[in-house]
C-alpha cells in the first residue's frame, strides 16, 4: 500500500501554529499569522531552503486557497 497520498502531514501543520518566524520584519510572529503579502514576497523572491521554506510554502498555499480554518483546531 502506498502512503504518499494520505493528505497533509499533521506534524507539519502543527508546526505552522507553534513555530515563530526566526528572522526579518516579522521575527517572532507565528508562521500561521504571517500576512499574505509577506508570503507573496517570498513566493516572488524564493522561499528559504530547508524546513522553514517548506513551512512557509505550506502556509502560503493554505492562505492562498482560503484554508486557514483548518488550522483553528491546532491553535487551541
Range list of β-strands (E), 2-52: none
pLDDT (0 to 100) of residue 6: 52
Stated pTM of the model:
0.85
Q: What is the mean pLDDT of residues 67-73?
A: 91
d(CA 5, CA 66): 21
Question: What pLDDT score does 8 carry?
Answer: 58
Number of H helices, E strands in the chain: 4, 0
CB 47 within 8 A of CB 61: no
In this predicted model, what pLDDT tens digit does every residue of 5-48 receive, in sequence order?
A: 455 578 899 999 999 999 999 999 999 999 999 999 999 999 99
How far apart CA 43 and CA 1 sit, in angstroms, is 34
Residue 66: CA atoms inside 13 Å, Cβ hemisphere, count?
Answer: 0
Amino acid at each position: 500500500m502506498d502512503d504518499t497520498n494520505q493528505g497533509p502531514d499533521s506534524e507539519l501543520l502543527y508546526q505552522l501554529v507553534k513555530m515563530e518566524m526566526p528572522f526579518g520584519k516579522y521575527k517572532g510572529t507565528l508562521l500561521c499569522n504571517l500576512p499574505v503579502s509577506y508570503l507573496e514576497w517570498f513566493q516572488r523572491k524564493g522561499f528559504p531552503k530547508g524546513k522553514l521554506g517548506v513551512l512557509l510554502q505550506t502556509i502560503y498555499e493554505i492562505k492562498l486557497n482560503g484554508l486557514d480554518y483548518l488550522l483553528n483546531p491546532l491553535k487551541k
